[in-house]
Amino acid sequence: MRKIARELLETEQNYVDSLQTVVKVFIIILFFLLKIFIKIFLEKKKVYLEPLSNAVIKNQPIISGEDIRSLFSIIEPISKVNAEFLGHLRTIVGDWGGQGDTLADLIPSFSKNLKIYTKYINNYDKTLSIYGQLLKTKPGFVSLIEVSFKKLFFT
């Protein structure tokens, strides 16, 4: 059982890290740091950055605020719920065999928080459709995705 708990902890940590990456890289950049982001990468891959820099020069958003909310609005709350879950899970795994809470205590106590996934699931098809449209119609968005992916996984 302890091995399962450790694997659950590791999986949850990876999931929370991924959610926080989405929040940091996409939401913050799209809302606040686009110009700084472009300056950092400007010398590296001009082919990806040209649509981004054109959007800044022309003072046009990469995507609309409505599209940002449609794509990412639920990610930050999900990230917070899972980070809290991860903290409790760490405590349980660290105190294995002690007098504290157990996995059996944790899951039911967090079940009401996990209902946030209902909104995610209900909006999934719409979000996927918006994402597909943005990939077809917004070269700056495509560039942001490509540059972010390369930065996160290949540097």
**Domains of the chain in sequence order:** 2-154 (1.20.900.10)
Say how far apart CA 47 and CA 50 lie, in whole Å.
6
Mean pLDDT of 56-63: 64
pLDDT digits (tens, 9 = 90+) for 83-129: 999 999 998 888 777 777 788 888 888 888 888 899 889 989 999 99
pTM for this one?
A: 0.67
Annotate 30-42 with b (16+ C-beta within 10 A) or e (fewer): beeebeebbeebe
Say how far apart CA 43 and CA 15 lie, in whole Å.
32
At residue 40 the predicted structure's pLDDT band, cuts being 50, 70 and 90, is very low
What's the Cα-to-Cα distance from 124 to each of 18, 31, 48, 87, 120, rounded to whole Å?
Answer: 18, 22, 28, 27, 6
Q: What pLDDT was estimated at residue 52? A: 54
